Chain A
Amino acid sequence: MSNKVNRRDFLKIMGWSGVGATLAGCDLPTTVTLEEGKEEVVSYLMPEEFVIPGIGVWYASTCLQCPAGCGVHGRVREGRVLKLEGNPESPINRGRLCQMGQSGVQAHYNPDRITQPMLRKNGGLTPVSWHDALEVLAQRTGPGSGLTGERFAWFTDTISGHQAVLLDAHLKAMGSDNHYVHEVINNSVTRAVNRDMLGEEQPRLRFDKARVVLSFGADFLGTWQSPVHNATEYAKFRSPPRGVLVQVEPNMSLTGANADLWVPVRPGTEGLLALAIAKVLATKHRKPLDKLPAAVQELILGYDVNEVARITGASGDHIIKIAGWLSERSPSLVIAGATAEGHEQGYQIVAAIMLLNIILGNVGETIEPAGEFPFPQLTARTGGTRSLVDFAKALEEKRYDVVFFRGANPVYTAPKALGLAQKLEGVGFKVAFSMFQDETTALADLVLPMRSPAEDWGTHVPAYQGEDRVISVQQPLMEPLYTETRGFGDVMLSLLKMHKVAGYSDYEDYYAYLRDAFAAMPAVLKENHSDDSFWARALQKGVIPVPTTQGSLTVKTAAVEVPGDSGRGEYPYFLVPAARLGMWDGRHANIPWLQEAPDQITKVVWNSWAEMHPSTARKLGVKTGDAVRIASSQGTIEANVYVYKGIHPDVIAVPMGRGHEAYGRYAQGRGVNPLKILDPVTERKTGELALMATRVQVSRASNEKVMVKLGGSESQLGRKIVATVTADVFERTEGGA
């Protein structure tokens, strides 16, 4: 440890600054560690680390397939990681994993990994050594390179834990605060509303306590916040006394597919529907509106339910039924997700939806304060799509000479209208920290091959944690497959060394840094353990519980202004780029298991599709399997149609995630990317891209490919395959439990 730094700086270097250093204790039970266990089983039979012939050992780590940060156990045998299972110690996922988490091994063993550094020479990327790569980095970005902080930026996906500490230190060394964080699947608008209305961005949601969940497009079982955690809570919600789930959205999500009542609406009218429900609550069920400002009360009482039904597409009966459930069964939980957020007035729509929680008294009941995470340096830097817009604008203004990319793939996710690929040509030196040759990496000038999450060290603090907060520990599950790949933390330390940043420069590698960081962890987290035994325990359990400060939610409402139906013009249909647990934002298109896993709703495999209502299909003269051309003002895509009754007739939905121009053998050239043809409309208050605001024309196209899907029949043909009982029966037979 360098003696140049004082204690305060030291805590900062190690990521522990903040109030956490003074926290009260929490309980950590004693268990045998794998490190200790290894000593027990180690014998001459064990030629190297990870290798105990014939015996599978489970190591704890963290899933990085999405930002939820579930804990995993990796089964390691003969030095290879074979299978991932959920870590039961993690309060995030309680031993369970989703299909993307299960596929983590196929990201790790993917045959299209980048195996060595590459430098652009005469137009093409040519292999170079790490030594040369770092030399080039020093020349272009190091001290003496002449690069100033304003002319440098990082562009990443969600990053937290000690990786974020190092990234921040690097930004500081560069004298820059340009950090763009990009996630297509996000809840940025809701976070902004929560911050303004409740005083906390990500309060803890209690699905398990709710008797009614009313979700406006929040696909909490599939793509929202913490899918596995939500699913475990959902199981409790559905246990007696069984809660009712109502899902309001333009096309059916996985969550919608599990709803008791699924209500299709025209995109952008969700806020209106929420206010109409509020009106019925106030007038029919005498719910007081007195917690709301007078202007809002007036607005609510001014709505005519039939008129709202006409505009939104929901039936009046359903509005009344929903209000009835909400008033009879308490507490309830009202949430909003991507399809409600993705409009010019998204903030207002979500605010209108959140009013229902206030009217129904859910704040403090099913919406609890999460409290402050005591180590702000480690918390997740997360983001949405505003970063894309801002980044494109900055490139337009030629503000950057050097950009570092990690995790995010903006060249794939950015709508064509933002012209990101072209604008990136203006950045002289682009560095990709990457495992795969994705669209963004393909444009880079220097490619630094990263270790896979199963080969690397890290700590993670997911932005949303539904239960007790933890730092989730990531440890290698095996030796790196490729010697010329490096860990992200290792490279970050090399960069900090290059800048001679005091405190960081002494570490040989990220492992050494983390060991010291764990040793420096506030005593309260370590209980009374020695540094070594605490380290071993953290690795064995995979999570370090962190007590949070007591929080409180303060309700503040402002006037809301909800949009009604906007005109149609020459583009009669709404385009919904649908998010799915599987391809996600496109990052999993290179995983063969997930390509071959049938989509939960349509059951299509290996390709894109366009969802359409039967009445729309009739109008266009198409049936399931026929190809259509979908044209926005920004471009055209073609896909085969899937016709079903889980979509509003004015909506065409195309899933995100396919249509890659690069990204390896499994992803490249399969399907289409609906994000490409989005209008570059932004949400007014937050600046996020309004992902649901694009209008399209649809016409028949000539069929070039057959649509491949699981199952020949969409109907049970009268056989008892999936049998259903009504909730009344369930209540009678099992309700007492």
Chain B
Amino acid sequence: MSLKNVFTDWSRYRKGIEEGGFHDYEHMWGMAVDLNKCIGCNACAVACYAENNLAVVGEEKFYKGQAMHWMRIERYWDEPDLGEDRVKEFNHHGANFIPMMCQNCNAATCEPVCPVAATYHTPDGLNAQVYNRCIGSRYCSNNCPYRLRFFNFYSYYESSWPEPLHMQLNPDLTVRDKGVMEKCTFCVQRIRAAKDKARREDRKVRDGEFLPACAQTCPTGAITFGDLLTLHTPGGGVGETKVAQMWRDHQVELGKTRQTKQNPELRGYRVFEGLNTDPCVMYLERVREV
């Protein structure tokens, strides 16, 4: 079972590269995050807690690195691209924020190491986690270069949702128990609901018809979510999604470890793409007046 999955995933991935696209996929969910707009406010992260039943672990466990924030806003002070000056006295350009959620890599480094194939790739292009197959080996989180997998070291049901806080829990997904790995799912329950609805109405899912919780709440609209499938259709094809258009505009392509842009000044980039993870999240560079 596990080996078969691994091979299927990898052959599909290789085919994707060789044939320029993921033709047998139903969808290829992806994002574009504009760091010129993101203000680092953290609304997306809390929205994710609310939507996805994320446990609050408390100060001590947070210190041990056991927090369950599927979405976190990283903040750095240096700006390597603007010529970091070690002696400068102040951070005159403010902070460097980046919202980090599972990058849903097409060549996810977490997938092939799972001994039981609890983490695998769906025909939607999602990196999925099968909770009831997960045995808690934690190989996947060890292998995630982005540190975006979160392990339930404890059972948090009692401590995180004392009554009546538990009444807030989203019935569309589970509360994960001790020993299970979890991570951003691109709000798969919302994807599911939208697909089911589309199927009932005998049509395709429309671009923007649903949003993940983080993209939905973002006050600046920094997060664009949608289907990247048309990305490898020359010219975008009919009905190119907004997110695919952004990737195209910024000349960022899937299946590459290094982008060959005609215009290297375009802002799109993927974090750590040189590691050949082929992430489905593109960031647009932060902008500063100098």
Contacts and interface: CB of A to CB of B under 8 A. Distances in A.
Interface of A: 77-78, 80-86, 93, 95-99, 101-103, 105-106, 109-111, 221-222, 227-228, 231-232, 234-235, 238, 242, 244, 247, 252, 254-264, 481, 581-582, 592-598, 600-601, 603, 605-607, 615, 644-646, 706, 708, 710-711, 713-716, 718-727, 729-730, 732-734
Given A231-B219, A592-B56, A645-B91, A714 B77 contact: yes
Contacts of B201: none
Contact of B80 (A80, A227, A606, A716): A716
Given A98-B219, A252-B94, A254-B40, A721 B89 contact: no
Given A78-B171, A598-B42, A600-B73, A724 B81 contact: yes
Contact of B168 (A85, A106, A607): A106
19 contacts: A83-B51, A83-B168, A86-B217, A95-B216, A101-B43, A109-B168, A110-B165, A227-B219, A242-B36, A259-B93, A481-B167, A581-B42, A592-B160, A595-B56, A645-B89, A722-B286, A723-B285, A724-B79, A733-B265
A729 B287 CA distance: 9
A77 B193 CA distance: 15
Contact of A597 (B46, B170, B222, B271): B46
B95 A730 contact: no
B18 interface: no
B97 interface: yes
A732 B50 CA distance: 40
Q: Which of A99, A594, A716, A724 has the most chain B CB within a 10 Å cutoff?
A: A724
Contacts of A721: 74, 76, 96, 98, 271
B19 interface: no
Given A645-B90, A723-B285, A80 B40 contact: no
B20 interface: no
B162 interface: yes
Nearest to B59: A606
Contacts of A83: 50-51, 168, 170, 213
Interface string B53-75: 00011111011000101001111
Nearest to A602: B75
Given A259-B94, A714-B77, A725-B267, A102 B40 contact: no
B266 interface: yes
A716 B100 CA distance: 14
A82 B170 CA distance: 6
B286 A723 contact: yes
A82 B288 CA distance: 39
B43 A99 contact: yes
Chain B contact surface mostly:
loop
Q: Which 5 residue pairs of A and B lie closest in terms of their CB atoms, listed nearest first?
A: A231-B219, A606-B59, A722-B96, A260-B289, A257-B95
A608 to B, nearest CB: 12
B41 A221 contact: yes
Given A258-B39, A645-B90, A724-B81, A99 B46 contact: yes
Contacts of A710: 62, 67, 69, 72, 74
Given A105-B168, A720-B80, A733-B267, A257 B286 contact: no
A644 B77 contact: yes
Contacts of A722: 35, 74, 76, 79, 96-98, 286
Given A723-B285, A724-B82, A102 B43 contact: yes
Given A222-B41, A733-B263, A593 B50 contact: yes
Contacts of B168: 80-83, 105-106, 109
Contacts of A600: 40-42, 73, 75, 97
Contacts of B45: 99, 597
Contacts of A716: 76, 78, 80, 96
B88 interface: yes
Contact of A730 (B36, B166, B167, B171): B36
Contact of A725 (B49, B94, B95, B285): B285
B264 to A, nearest CB: 10
Contact of B39 (A234, A261, A708): A234
Contacts of A724: 79, 81-82, 93, 96, 285-288
Contacts of B96: 716, 721-722, 724
A261 B79 CA distance: 14
Interface residues of B, number: 78
B216 A598 contact: no
A647 to B, nearest CB: 9
A727 B94 contact: no
Interface string B229-269: 00000000000000000000000000000000001011101
A724 B82 CA distance: 7
Contacts of B78: 714-716
Given A221-B39, A607-B59, A725-B285, A102 B217 contact: yes
Contact of B95 (A581, A601, A734): A601
Contact of A96 (B80, B94, B218, B287): B218
Contacts of A235: 37, 219-222
Nearest to B169: A82
Contact of B265 (A85, A605, A646, A729): A729
B265 A725 contact: yes
Contacts of B81: 720, 723-725
A110 B96 CA distance: 34
Nearest to A715: B78
B290 interface: yes
Given A95-B216, A244-B289, 15 more contacts: A80-B167, A83-B50, A98-B43, A99-B42, A109-B164, A254-B40, A582-B42, A596-B69, A711-B74, A721-B96, A724-B93, A725-B267, A727-B290, A730-B267, A730-B287
A28 B94 CA distance: 43
Contacts of B13: none
A726 B59 contact: no
A204 B263 CA distance: 40
A329 to B, nearest CB: 10
A726 B40 contact: no
Contacts of A645: 77, 88-91
A601 B57 CA distance: 21
A725 B287 contact: yes
Contacts of A734: 267
A262 B37 contact: no
B76 A103 contact: no
A264 B57 contact: no
A710 B82 CA distance: 25
B202 interface: no
Contact of A601 (B59, B75, B222): B75
Contacts of B42: 99, 581-582, 597-598, 600
A720 B160 CA distance: 35
Contacts of B50: 83-84, 102-103, 105, 593
Given A97-B43, A582-B42, A723 B76 contact: no
Contacts of A93: 219
A111 B59 contact: no
